[in-house]
Amino acid sequence: TAMEEEVKDKTPNFVSGTAELEPDMSLAQLVFRYGRLLSNDDDVIADGIDVEQMKENYEKKLSAEIERKQMAPLYEWICMKFGWDIDKKKLEEMKLSNDAEAAYLEAKLDEARRNSGDMEVVDAMFDIARFYGRICDKEKTYLANDEIRDRAKVSSGKKVDAVMNKIRISLFYLDLVKAKEQLAQAKKLAETGGDW
């Protein structure tokens, strides 16, 4: 189906080593730099720089990446954080796309639970966690990775991977308190038998 092809295009290939970690931290860097630019901090703005042109360039780059990856949760957060006007039509389209992809991935997980082994189930759970990381849905990324971490038949290495995914989304949103808590969890898991 069309949804399978679309999801397949977005699903990283771990076998060939081409997996991308989600969320994309270069996007976090772009958000951070844009925020610094808006702060009118003298350390950020050099003499002779066209600040308005830089703002416009950052806004175009952010908007293009958000639309390309259909990042509805990040779009809402950026609009709120930076006072952007929300394009309700664009937001609704992204949410519909997100809902369709989430439903497809949930169906894939249900299929794995019914017809496959534990490894396939965990792989499908990671697909869901990566999806929420890709669209920068912080709370759903936490929940999806917690389900992996708390699952009985998951290796300690996979549990560490799940906690590291949570650290990544925490750092994306500069939630250093959560990142520190999660780092302590990862350390404890590694000390008690991480097999990665």
CA–CA distance, 99 with 87 (Å, rounded to integer): 18
Contacts 24+ apart (CB under 8 A), 59-65: 59/34, 59/84, 61/30, 62/27, 62/30, 62/31, 62/34, 65/24, 65/27, 65/30
Tell me the whole-structure pTM to 2 decimals. Answer: 0.85
Task: For 3-20, write each residue's pLDDT tens digit.
Answer: 555 555 554 433 334 456
Secondary element (H or E) of residue 72: helix 72-82
Q: How far is CA 1 from CA 4, 9, 145, in A?
A: 5, 13, 27
Task: For 118-150, write each residue's pLDDT tens digit.
Answer: 999 999 999 999 999 999 999 999 999 999 999
What region, left, alpha or beta, does residue 12 occupy, with left being phi > 0 and alpha being psi -120 to 50 degrees?
beta
CA–CA distance, 83 with 5 (Å, rounded to integer): 36
pLDDT of residue 14: 36
Q: Which residues contact 132 (CB under 8 A, 6 or more apart)?
A: 140, 141, 144
In this structure, are residues 112 and 121 in contact, taking their beta carbons and an 8 Å threshold? Answer: yes
